[in-house]
Structure 1
Amino acid sequence: MKIGLLLVEESPAGVQQLIQTVAFQLIQEHELFSIEINDQSEVKVQSYQKEQILFSQEFEAPMIRPSHLRNEVDLSIFDQFDQVIVLGEKSNVGNDLLEKLTVAHLHIPLIDEDTGQNLGYDTALDSIVDQILKVKDTINSMKYDHPRIFGIQLPEELSENLIQDVVVAVNEHRIQNMLELEGIATLLKQSIANGKTYGFIIFDEHLNPNEVVKQLEQYVAVDWKYVQVDQSLILGPYPSGADRLIANKLAKKIIQWCLSHK
């Protein structure tokens, strides 16, 4: 049996482990392929081999890259398969592809059905919080003429829930627009008056760090530096224990479906 795998969203932590588990189980008796479609609707189909899976497990190498289905997709590319597994948000599939597929197919959102938790969420939260806490450790060991304020610039694509959880986890400030800076400056002054020598302002990429500090300094004198959190570090190849659990639960569901729909 020939089985194709299609990923339709950016690869969160845990996706590669999910595919490793599925591939290692199914290639014993079946042919498994990655399907990748780029922005120009060009298609790349690649067969998974046992050596590739073992290499990916040892070195956390990617097993599949996300496809971009912004344009009309030639459905005949799926005719070569007996089954197709589509991983990711249904809204990213586009053009009613799932309804038009004539081959047996399974759509798997990257979510734990039991908890509602998105695959990769826990790893992303841990990664961002860990980066902020490392900066805090550095600040605590140094003295400055003015309070040291760090800007933490997050990737713009992060969910609102994730950003809110980061703010609560590190107990710092967050702005969504420049008009909020005056209120943040007041809170920073209060913290400084109570003996705190540093603070953090969390914002995403639609705000310019240089403009943020320029506006902030109208209300309070600060020693400013900002850190840009890299998207690759959030998606990262090293999923947390919680995301490994979700990945394996999704992998089990895929394997059971494939074997029961021969």
Structure 2
Amino acid sequence: MPKKIEKIAVLTSGGDAPGMNAAIRAVVRTCAYHNVECYGVYQGYEGLIEGDFEILNARSVKGIINKGGTFLKSARSQKFRTKEGRQQAYDNLIKANIDGLVVIGGDGSFTGAMIFNQEFEFPVMGIPGTIDNDIVGTTHTLGFDTALNTVVDAIDKIRDTASSHNRLFFIEVMGRDVGHIALNTGIAGGAEEILIPEEDLGLDRLVDSLNRSRKSGKSSSIVIVAEGDKIGKNIFELKDFIDENMEGYDVRVSVLGHMQRGGAPSCFDRVLASRMGVKAVESLLEGETNYMVGLINSKMELTPLEKAIKGKTKINLELLRVSDIMST
């Protein structure tokens, strides 16, 4: 029989994402609903090692569902990568009589949680929070939908300038290893071309696409580039190539950067965070451990942390085809 869960701690780790505060709120209020004490851990795993946590109740998390970022703060802990650091974290949890841990973060955060569970058999549950949507076991990670809306809004504004001055804009979005943000926002923003890590389209195709656009009468163009795209060393090298090899284009570059992580979470992310928080706590109370909660076929499901970490998300091939058709 697993030990009855009476106290649960929650932390956020890795890069922040819109919806993390909503998820914390959901964890805390689900604990309150089930008469379980909840502790908030500050500064991620570093806070576990330092013992930087405090009791949270339903009123502690009022007014945060609409806030971006994470009020518990986030940090990448080098100490937690060591056995000594994890031992110190475990000792602090036991000292506070905490029985379970909810980790909100990405694959690096889940790797730490999985190792922690394996070493100390401490119950853990993961909630996927990353704008890249690059974790297996959920169709949407927290922050992905909000990031898409933020990027599309930026593309719309940039297009106004591109159209006014007959310019070609390369717009770089986040996505070091996956192109989910680029592909979705490129279609929604009416981009002429979308460059993603999963599909090496090559410079020749890019040039052909831009030539077709110009011959069809387009006086301005938008090209969305995922930061991990392999065509050039970086987006500025792409600009230089077009400047050198294609006449008649006034080329500009816009790197959206960390603005994609900020802002109030969308309605979708707030609801998703609430559902994930409830599922995470109730799964721990039911004796489940070493899982990540996720959205699959519109339902909350559990995926082993190891599978979530080691799996590789796949790009939507239908969206690629839609993108090709829409850029005609």
Same fold (TM over 0.5): yes
What RMSD over aligned residues (CA atoms) do the two structures have, in Å?
A: 3.5
Contact 1:78 1:103 in 2 (8 A): no
Whole-Å separation in 2 of the counterparts to 1:244 and 1:58: 8
Contact 2:14 2:74 in 1 (8 A): yes
Whole-Å separation in 1 of the counterparts to 2:212 and 2:38: 64
Match of 2:242 among 208, 213, 216: 216
Relative to structure 1, the CA distance from residue 164 to residue 151 in structure 2 (aligned partners, 3 Å threshold; closer, same or farther) is same
The residue aligned with 2:213 is 191
Relative to structure 1, the CA distance from residue 210 to residue 257 in structure 2 (aligned partners, 3 Å threshold; closer, same or farther) is closer
The residue aligned with 1:235 is 261
Contact 2:170 2:225 in 1 (8 A): yes
Which amino acid is 2:27 matched to? Answer: V
The residue aligned with 1:162 is 181
Contact 1:86 1:106 in 2 (8 A): yes
Match of 1:132 among 155, 163, 167: 155
Match of 1:32 among 39, 57, 79: 39
Contact 1:125 1:165 in 2 (8 A): yes
Contact 2:14 2:75 in 1 (8 A): yes
Match of 2:92 among 68, 77, 81: 77
Which amino acid is 1:190 matched to? Answer: R
Provide TM-score, normalisation by structure 1: 0.79
Unmatched 5+ residue regions in structure 2? 1-5, 288-328
Unmatched 5+ residue regions in structure 1? none
Mapped pair 1:121 → 2:144: yes
Provide TM-score, normalisation by structure 2: 0.65
Match of 1:20 among 16, 25, 30: 25
Contact 1:26 1:32 in 2 (8 A): no
- Give CA deviations for 1:202-225 in whole Å, capped at 9, x if unaligned: 224464343222211222121121
Whole-Å separation in 2 of the counterparts to 1:38 and 1:255: 19
Match of 1:105 among 124, 127, 131: 124
Q: Secondary structure at 1:218's aligned position in 2?
A: helix
Relative to structure 1, the CA distance from residue 55 to residue 239 in structure 2 (aligned partners, 3 Å threshold; closer, same or farther) is closer
Whole-Å separation in 2 of the counterparts to 1:187 and 1:58: 41
- Give CA deviations for 1:8-67 in whole Å, capped at 9, x if unaligned: 442322111111232245358524222534679953523155665235357656222334
Mapped pair 1:66 → 2:85: no
Relative to structure 1, the CA distance from residue 60 to residue 151 in structure 2 (aligned partners, 3 Å threshold; closer, same or farther) is closer
Aligned residues: 256
Contact 1:83 1:103 in 2 (8 A): yes
Identical-pair percentage: 19
Please state how far the C-alpha of 1:88 moved relative to its aligned partner: 3.5
Q: Secondary structure at 1:128's aligned position in 2?
A: helix
Which amino acid is 1:160 matched to? Answer: G
Relative to structure 1, the CA distance from residue 107 to residue 194 in structure 2 (aligned partners, 3 Å threshold; closer, same or farther) is closer
Greater Cα shift, 102-111 or 119-128: 102-111
Whole-Å separation in 2 of the counterparts to 1:44 and 1:244: 29
